[in-house]
Amino acid sequence: MRPRATSIRRCCEWTVFGLVPAVVAVSYSASFLRRGVGEPDFGAFWLASRAALHGHSPYPPLASLPHAASIGFDPFVYPPVVAFLLAPLAALPFVAAKLLFLAVNLGAVVLALRLLGVRDWRCYGIALVTPAVVESVASGTISILLLLGVAAAWRYRDRAVAVALLVASAVTAKLFLWPLWFWLVRTGRRRAAAAAVVASFAALAGSWALIGFAGLRDYPRLLARLTELVGPHSYSTYALERVLGVGAAAQATYAVGVIALVLALRFVADERRSFVALLGVALLATPILWPHYLVLLFVPVALASPTLTRVWFVPLLLWVNPAAWNSGSVAPIVAELVVTLAALATVVQTPTEPPSAVVPRPTWSAASAAWRRT
């Protein structure tokens, strides 16, 4: 009976964590491949990269923005660094570029989890069916690449040059990740922090120079206008404040972010928890929070448990509301924010140091003493 029970259990595991995720991944991959150039998000990246390669501005004129946003409104508003980083895709025909980007995105999920120390194959299966991964792959966003960059920054945190370049890349690609720079400062990596600032400014200045600084003057107003147009439709604290009718909502959101940042820097001393806390500040302080941004929640989940435990099922709770835009009511926004906080809090439930970190590393003196004893 025992061998039979073991076989049944393994069969169920392979079905739930292997076959089902594979079928789901094929389904949303096919959905991505059916998207046209004018559909978000990959189409906007591809067109912006092609414009940047020809020295043109990838940004829409302010006057061309609508008075009200609708689903599918997706202008390119990333720093020009992103347009040049995706330039190899722009050099390809649209269909070939989609195929390559799909492979890169799916591979980035696996690589990011491995960099975070996850070796349990069932965790990869769960990751592939979470709403954040489904949305990110199906629409062709760069959120999974951001996850890969953040995971690599943690993995190579003791290499000053590497972590500086990784943090600079993440922040210049998506500005809301700016609190990661404070993590470098908080953990005493001041050389890396300084190098990250220099690299960020160099990348921004260099990429803007390549397009003749087109769009630079209007860029702050472009970001502000985008916040007004789509921020209320997202799942951010800003969107919640707008739904509740709070005045000066953008200012209130920034104030919340500053307070959270100060608290994280003041009271969170442990390296791993401070990393997660400042990542949480980034997610909760951004005025625009789309569901695919929440692929970043795999960072606290993986650091809390590199093997399959109940914490891995927290990101699946986002299926309670899988819509890309909120419905204009409080409940879906609160649900998204509560799941985000729950995932961030998983690290609090674990010991200060992961089990692998307390295993002493053999030293030369210890090895010599052991050899003499023999």
Per-residue pLDDT of the chain (374 residues; tens, 9 = 90+): 477 778 888 899 999 999 999 999 999 999 999 999 988 899 999 999 999 999 999 999 998 899 888 887 888 999 999 999 999 999 999 999 999 999 999 999 999 999 999 999 999 999 999 999 999 999 999 999 999 999 999 999 999 999 999 999 999 999 999 999 999 998 999 999 999 999 999 999 999 999 999 999 999 999 999 999 999 999 998 999 888 887 655 666 666 677 777 777 776 778 999 999 999 999 988 999 999 999 999 999 999 999 999 999 999 999 988 888 998 889 999 999 999 999 999 987 666 554 433 333 333 333 334 333 33
pLDDT of residue 368: 38
Sorted by sequence, the CB contacts under 8 Å of residue 137 that are 6+ apart come out as 25, 28, 29, 32, 102, 105, 106, 144
**Residues 139-155: b if buried by 16+ CB within 10 A, e if exposed:** bbbbbbbbbbbbbbbbb
Q: Report d(CA 194, CA 157) in Å as an integer.
A: 14
pLDDT of residue 1: 47
Max CA pair span of the chain: 81
In the block, tokens 């003057």 appear at: 217
Half-sphere exposure of 63 (CA within 13 A, CB side): 0
Q: How far is CA 246 from CA 276, 331, 338, in A?
A: 28, 16, 20
Q: Report d(CA 330, CA 367) in Å as an integer.
A: 61
Q: Report d(CA 164, CA 126) in Å as an integer.
A: 31
Q: Report d(CA 268, CA 126) in Å as an integer.
A: 29
Cα 239 to the center of its chain, rounded Å: 19
pLDDT of residue 52: 94
3-state secondary structure 235-277: CCHHHHHHHHCCCCHHHHHHHHHHHHHHHHHHHCCCHHHHHHH
In the block, tokens 């448990």 appear at: 305
